[in-house]
Amino acid sequence: MSSTEMLQIITASGKTVGDHKTDLTPDDMVEMYGHMVMTRALDERMINLQRQGRIGFYVPSTGEEAAQIGSGKLFGDLDWLYPSYRVPGLFLQRGASLDHMVANCYGNQADLCKGRQMPVHYAFGDLNIVSISSPIGTHIIQATGTAMGQKIRGDGGLSACYFGDGGTSSNDFHSGLNFAGVTKAPVLFICTNNQWAISVPIEKQTASETLAIKAVAYGMPGIRVDGNDVLAVHAATKEAAERARAGEGPTLIELMTYRRGPHSSSDDPTRYRGNQADEWLDRDPILRFRKYLEREDIWSQSQEEELIASCKQAVNDAITAVEKLPLPTLESLFTDVYATVPPHLREQYEDLIKHEGSGHEPDPDAAFPL
């Protein structure tokens, strides 16, 4: 497969292309399908919460579930993940708790980031998932650096870095891929080409024939994959992971999909694009995988109904568990940097407490800029 052709294993009608046989067991596939449906359930509910004013900000990933779930089964304890903000499914698949994810959107005391990050910017240190970088592309060089370390250590671990089509225009894309190519670092560059970077369409992002072809300049394979086909995403990333673990270096994987929703809850895409999103409804990754599983007699209507009900229930339970928790204490703004809080910060803390006591309240309607 070249960097201009596109790897596809299941078509929109759920049939397999050619005689492809997946190495995934029926149980693996049912588990992956469950994570895709859970990701959608979380997405829909969180956007509603934002519209109801119960959380400030959300980033939907509807229609991009295969791009998130296709690679998650490949990783083990020695691997490090550098995610983007549009891969909540990957977190769920790696074992992140829904309570922690929902709490991050409230920025309250159950949030592992203690309200210091933007919402939807999760971090799970114990799952080797690095905190999401808001500046686009900066984590690409971090992933390469980690992979260079993994290579020196020789422990068989790899790093995987998730970013979007817009991320390929960052300086760090060039530096990260260049160094990874030269050092043959074990890193997977997983680029979700959803064809938009906020209001910038892919044609204005690059004059390149594809994004995958950029790999050629860095001396690594580039592969273009149907990003709405979870089995194709799995096959391509698995091969790249095997190459990385065998000492053969990095791979750039371009996952072709479409950003069906707004960039974020603060965005109104009707101001800059028509309703192309409708064309992509037929290529829905969840529907496609479901059709495949039904054809293979691995899935039934009653299982589907049970799954949807249980996913919705799990999301509701997480919201109920964390929504009413208090915000992090003011004191938490001053901890976790120094072992002992130095005098100048202690003084600032005391001033802040005095200020808060004087009746000043944070503005509850302050909007998120992005």
Ligand X SMILES: Cc1ncc(C[n+]2csc(CCOP(=O)(O)OP(=O)(O)O)c2C)c(N)n1
State the residues that interact with ligand X by CB under 6 A.
84, 86, 134-136, 163-167, 194, 196-198, 259, 263, 370
Query: Edge-to-edge, what's the strand order for the sheet holding 159-164?
Result: 80-82, 159-164, 187-193, 251-256, 222-226
Q: Which residues contact 209 (CB under 8 A, 6 or more apart)?
A: 4
Lookup: tokens for 61: 């990933």
Residue 64 or 229: which CB sits closer to Mg ion?
64
3-state class of 226 per DSSP?
strand
Catalytic residue among 263, 283, 288, 290: 263
Question: Residue 152: exposed, middle, or buried by beta-carbon count in 10 A (0-12, 13-18, 19+)?
Answer: exposed
How many other C-beta atoms are found inside a 10 Å radius of the C-beta of residue 209? 11
| CB-based burial label for 288 (10 Å; 0-12, 13-18, 19+) | buried
Has 288 been annotated as catalytic?
A: no
Residue 174 CB, shortest distance to ligand X, in Å, is 14
Is residue 222 within 8 A of residue 251, CB to CB? The reply is: yes
Q: Where are the beta strands (DSSP E) in 243-366?
A: 251-256
Residue whose token pair is 């929109």: 12
Pick between residue 167 and residue 186 the one whose CB is nearest to ligand X.
Answer: 167
Q: Which does 86 bind (CB under 5 to 8 A by kind): Mg ion, ligand X, none?
A: ligand X
Give the binding site for Mg ion (CB under 5 A).
Answer: 164-165, 194, 197
C-alpha 347/C-alpha 353 separation (Å) is 10
One-letter amino acid identity for 94?
A: R
Q: Which does 136 bind (CB under 5 to 8 A by kind): ligand X, Mg ion, none?
A: ligand X
Smaller CB separation from ligand X, 272 or 342? 272
Dihedral class, residue 244 (left if φ above 0, else alpha if ψ from -120 to 50, else beta): alpha
* Residue with the CB atom nearest ligand X in the bound state: 164
Which residues have C-beta within 8 Å of that of residue 342, sequence separation ≥ 6? Answer: none
Residue 151: half-sphere exposure toward Cβ, Cα within 13 Å: 22
Q: Measured from the CB atom, is 150 or 257 closer to ligand X?
A: 257
Nearest residue to 137 (alpha-carbon basis) of 171, 188, 160: 171
Question: By C-beta, is 137 or 328 nearer to ligand X?
Answer: 137
Which of 139, 224, 243, 259 is labelled catalytic?
A: 259
Least distance in angstroms from the C-beta of 125 to ligand X: 23
Among ligand X, Mg ion, none, the one that 151 touches (CB under a kind-dependent 5 to 8 A) is: none
Secondary structure of residue 254 in the 3-state scheme = strand
Name the minimum Å distance from CB 192 to Mg ion.
7
Closest to ligand X by CB, 41 vs 140, is 140
- Rounded least distance, CB 294 to Mg ion, Å: 31
Shortest Cβ 78–ligand X spacing (Å): 27
Q: Among positive and negative, which fits the CA dihedral 207, 209, 212, 213? A: negative
Any catalytic annotation for residue 263?
yes
Is 259 in the active site? Answer: yes
Shortest spacing between CB 209 and ligand X, in angstroms = 18
Shortest spacing between CB 64 and Mg ion, in angstroms:
9
Residue tagged active-site, from 20, 54, 272, 346: 272
Which one of ligand X, Mg ion, none interacts with residue 341, CB within 5 to 8 A by kind?
A: none
The item of ligand X, Mg ion, none sharing an interface with residue 173, based on CB under 5 to 8 Å by kind, is none
Residue 134 binds which entry of Mg ion, ligand X, none, with Cβ cut-offs from 5 to 8 Å by kind?
Answer: ligand X
Between 132 and 148, CB nearer to ligand X = 132
The residues annotated as belonging to the active site are 259, 263, 272
